Amino acid sequence: MTADDKIAELEHRLGIVEDELAIRRLQHAYGYYLDKCYYDEVVDLFDEDCEVIFIGGVYKGRAGAARLYTGRFRSRFADGHNGPQFGRLLEHPMLQDLIHVAPDRRTAYARYRTLMQAGTHELAAAADTPVRQWMEGGVYENVYTSTDGIWKIKKLFYRAFWHGTMEEGWAHTPPDYVPNASVTYPEDPYGPDELLENAPRLWPETTTLPFHY
């Protein structure tokens, strides 16, 4: 191997490391924005030709991602407001990062675990809305794409695994406590573009989201 070949190899290996760091920052930014209901900022992290798989639904393209985050989530968790709301708790730490960048450095794959705490404080709950506090665990299996050195989320697959209230925990969660999507857009204005075939179900079901590696 010539000196030039060795330098090229080292530059490529360094580029892979830099890509991994950029993807990690991207996914962690997603978690922080989601925590504070900055849904416009979440959507900006996605590629134009992206796909989001969530609770049995497939949301296609940036428009589909916006329908989920700035539509469904914003109306449900932030009263239509982009940003944090008094008395609303949402925490999505990104854990156990496992990232693999393709040799051409244009595509990457990553798996993360999240342990979520969420709820509404009694001072913030509407008169007809019960106070809620819950825990949730899930896994992300994502694909990323790089254009001109800028990484974006190409495919986000969130496999919610278990759900439990703070009062009773996950051991008493009824099957399909959070049911998979069953109605698509536009019949459901915030619904997915299509339904995921053989969509995984919540605990006590224990199917494994396939590993990319």
Domain ranges within the chain, ordered by starting residue: 3-195
Q: Mean pLDDT for each consecutive 10-residue tract of the chain (213 residues)?
A: 86 96 98 97 98 98 98 91 92 96 97 94 77 93 96 98 91 91 97 96 93 95
Question: Residue by residue, what is the 3-state secondary structure of 109-132?
Answer: EEEEEEEEEEEECCCCCCCCCCCC
Q: Please state which CATH number belongs to domain 3-195.
A: 3.10.450.50
Task: Provide the pLDDT for residue 128.
Answer: 64
For residue 5, how far is the Cα from the chain centroid?
40
Q: What is the pTM of this model?
A: 0.94
**Cα separations in angstroms, 93 against 14, 23, 31, 114, 205:** 27, 15, 6, 6, 23
Helix ranges restricted to H, 1-126: 3-35, 39-44, 61-66, 74-77
CB 110 within 8 A of CB 99: yes
Confidence (pLDDT) at 125: 76
3-state class percentages of the chain: helix first, strand second, coil last, to nearest 5? 30, 35, 40
CB of 114 within 8 A of CB of 92? yes
The answer to whether residues 208 and 138 touch, using CB atoms and an 8 Å cutoff, is no
Query: How many residues are present in the chain?
Result: 213
How much is the pLDDT for 48? 97
pLDDT of residue 129: 67
In the 8-state DSSP scheme, what is residue 190?
T
The residues near 129 (Cβ < 8 Å, ≥ 6 apart) are: 120
Give alpha helix (H) positions in 36-132: 39-44, 61-66, 74-77
Q: What angle do CA 74, 78, 84 make, to 5 degrees?
A: 120
68 closest CA partner among 190, 194, 196: 190
User: pLDDT value at position 127?
Assistant: 64
